[in-house]
Structure 1
Amino acid sequence: MAKHSYEFKKQLVSEYLDNQGSYASISQKHGMSSSCQLKTWVAAYKKLGDNGLKRSRSRKEYSFIITLIR
């Protein structure tokens, strides 16, 4: 389960992009221990839009044997 919802991420990213504060001030305001995660979300949003903030639903697991063959 994702720690933060899409809506929460979108709200913080929007606040930052609307110049409502710095990474640190917005993170602190919403109870996050560090601003690093917000920086990551902003970068993902700038590159991929809303999809950058959504949790990936595809599993990327490979068996050990298949990885050895490739």
Structure 2
Amino acid sequence: MSKYSFDLKLKVVQDYKQGLGGYNFLAQKYNSNDMFQVRNWIKAYQSFGLDGLRRKRQSVSYSTEFKLNAVNLYLTTEKTYRELASELQMNNPALLKSWVISYRKQGELTFAPKLVEDLEKSQ
């Protein structure tokens, strides 16, 4: 996946806010060729402000409890991945989606290796 500069993402968001084009037009204008990426930048900005456009230098590690709670919330509400991720202060709805898919295939066992690590850390 290509990395895009903060400045480019900000220009795209500013153009969108000023009504200078939709996702597809702005993707073409800025040579992204991916209107979904443009949409993701705009949604990230709307949810998290400028921080939503910055690349994370460190990956975030979520506890097993957090993952199970997030999956349960998704399965028991009518919220989209994006809505729930925003509510949970996650900037990556695709990560939540991958947890749900894994959970549907393997149940809670999908997080079992992490469960063992969490138990060992708590002792």
- Structure 2 residue aligned with 1:15: 15
Task: Give the Cα–Cα distance (whole angstroms) in 1 for the partners of residues 42 and 3 of structure 2.
Answer: 17
Partner of 1:49: 49
Deviation of 1:60 (Å): 3.9
Deviations 1:14-70 (A, max 9, x none): 101110011111111111212000100000000100000001122346xxxx72322
Following superposition of structure 1 onto structure 2, how do residues 1-70 of structure 1 map, counting pairs within 5 Å? Answer: 3-60=3-60, 67=114, 68-70=116-118
Counterpart-to-counterpart distance in 2, 1:17 and 1:60: 29
Pairs aligned (count): 65
Provide the TM-score with structure 1 as the length reference. 0.81
Larger % of helix: which? 2
Alpha-carbon separation, structure 1, partners of 2:59 and 2:22: 34
Which ranges of structure 1 fall in alignment gaps of 5 or more residues?
none
For 1:18 and 1:7, locate their aligned partners in 2 and report how far apart those are by CA, in whole Å. 16
Which structure has more RCO (C-alpha within 8 Å, separation ≥ 6)?
1
2 CA distance for matches of 1:10 and 1:31?
14
Amino acid at match of 1:59: S
Percent pairwise identity: 28
Gaps of 5+ in 2: 62-112, 119-123
Distance (Å, rounded) in 1 between the aligned partners of 2:59 and 2:34: 28
